[in-house]
Structure formats: C-alpha cells, structure tokens
Amino acid sequence: MTAATSPQQPPSALGKAHARRLRDIYRSAGWPSQDLLEIELLAAGLLERVRAPAGHESLRVTQAGIALLAATLAANRASLSVHEALVERVATEMVRAGRIAWRGLAMRAQVATGRQDKPLRWCVAKPDVFSIRHTSVEAYVEPIVHEVKVRRADLLGDLRQPAKRAAYLDMGECWYVLGSDARGRCIGAPDEVPAECGVLVLEGGRLSVARAAPRRARSGLPFGIWMALAKATPAAGLGEDAQALLGEAGTAC
C-alpha cells in the first residue's frame, strides 16, 4: 500500500458532531452535505465517495469509520452504565434516609424569562433522582433534586444551562452528584457548581457532602408534580433499617 492510499489516522479534533454525522450517513443513503464536517470526515478516511453508474455521487462509511462508531458506542455504553449505577446509588441512599425516591421523572417546572410581558415559562425537567420525605403533611415533604454527573464534559455542559438549573430549583432543593474519572479523581470541584446548589462527591467509593444546599422554604408541591409522582414507580430497596426509619418519620409527622 502506497503512502497515497494508506488510511489516515482520525485527528483528535473529531468529536461528537462527527460521530453523529457518521451514524446518520451509515443509516441513510449517504447523500453528501458538502459542509465542513463532511470535509473533515473525508480527510480522516472515515468516509469515502462512491459514484453510481448514473453519475451521481454518494458517501459511504469506511471500515475506519465503522471502527470509530463501534468505539464510540462502547464508550457511551460504559459511561451510561456508570451513570446509571450512581443514579441507583443516590436513589438507594435517599430511601435509606427515610425518603421516597423516583428516577427518570419528567415534570413541568417554571423558569424566569427576563421579559415583563411574560415573566415565566413552562419547561420539562428530567432530574436523575427526585425524592420527598415520607410524610402525610404537605408542608413537610422537603423535595430534593439530585443531578448525577460522571463525565467532566457533561458537567461543564450542564453548568452552562442556567434555565435547566432554575427548573430544578423550582421543583425543590437541588444537589449535583459528582462522580470520579478513570483515575479515581472527582470530575469537578465544588466551587464550580453555583452556590444555590449542594454538592455530593464520590470519594473512595463513598458519597460525601462537599457543600450543603441552601435551605429554601416551601409550602408544598404543585399539583402537576403530585400527578407525575402518582403515575410513576418509586425506587425500591427498603431494608429493615430503612423500614424502621420510615416508621419513625411517619410517627414524627
């Protein structure tokens, strides 16, 4: 194989957008877009031009491109499993603390728009874990949102979305849960998270409070959230100790 025909190594600059384009082309007829992403994928040897007998040109993912897609898929699956494991861990800890916890809820919340004619707007918030106290007194439910992050890029991207954070704060007390990287280091520093949120960090396999969330007075939960909770299944995993704690919490109310 000559230097002119040898496959190129994918440049490190290729990112998620390139992987998405590769997936789109792999699943489609491969019509060219003729944009910068396509140029970079062609230059990296991840795409190739194919000319049909009729004369029109299409794109095809090369073996190098398929290998990159497979590697991206494996990395995404590994990251997802780590994320789901930490979500499950947080939900279990909330249950052990005498709370009722849900995972993967989709609930409506209100966020400020900064406009005088329409100061608030509705949005759909999807916290990783949402929990309330086990109580029959609405004013004592103390709702808490936990947002779990196991990759630094995801954390930084989330911190650049103040509307998302505002939606969580509209629902209750908000905590960020920061996982560890492959070397066991926390993916972020507590002071990177805005002061209106609490921070839990995973250290040595244990969850510890790096900074408590400010306490906020609440009179209860909106009817829409109650309906979402009623239609969802809470996290299981109550043991004998947690059952006893739940009993104590119920007696106290």
pLDDT of residue 119: 78
Q: Are residues 204 and 174 in the same domain?
A: yes
48 with 105, same domain: the answer is no
Mean pLDDT in residue range 50-73: 90
Q: Which residue has the higher pLDDT, 243 or 95?
A: 95
The one-letter amino acid code at 146 reads H
Flag whether 214 is in a domain: yes
Same-domain status, 166 and 128: yes
Q: Please tell me which of 84-93, 213-222, 236-245 the model is most confident about, judged by mean pLDDT.
A: 84-93
> How many domains, the chain?
2
- Has residue 99 been placed in a domain? yes
In a domain, 146, yes or no: yes
Q: What percent of the chain is modeled with pLDDT above 70?
A: 87
Instruction: Look up the domain containing 185 and give its range.
Output: 80-252
pLDDT at 10: 47
Q: What is the pLDDT of residue 245?
A: 42
What Cα–Cα distance (Å) separates residue 12 from each residue in 5, 9, 44? 21, 9, 10
Please give the residue that has the higher pLDDT: either 44 or 236: 44
Residue 165 maps to a domain: yes
Statement: the pTM of the whole predicted model exceeds 0.85: no
* Contact by Cβ (8 Å): 205, 196: no
**Domain check: are 56 and 85 in the same one?**
no
Same domain, 139 and 240: yes
| Terminal CA-CA length for the chain | 78
Note the pLDDT of residue 79: 67
Predicted pLDDT at 249: 42
Write out the chain in H/E/C secondary structure. Answer: CCCCCCCCCCCCCCCHHHHHHHHHHHHCCCCCCCCHHHHHHHHCCCEEEEECCCCCEEEEECHHHHHHHHHHHHHHHHHHHHHHHHHHHHHHHHHHCCEEEEECCCEEEEEECCCCCCCEEEEEECCCEEEEECCCCHHHCCCEEEEEECCHHHHHHHHCCHHHHHHHHHHCEEEEEECECCCCCECCCHHHCCCCCEEEEEECCEEEEEECCCCCCCCCCCHHHHHHHHHCCCCCCCCHHHHHHHHHHHHHC
Contact 177, 86 (CB under 8 A): yes
- The answer on 241 and 169 residing in a single domain is yes
| Residue whose C-alpha is closest to residue 133's, from 123, 146, 144 | 144
Is residue 50 located within the same domain as residue 113? no
**How confident is the prediction for the chain on average, in pLDDT?**
84
Residues present in the chain in total: 253
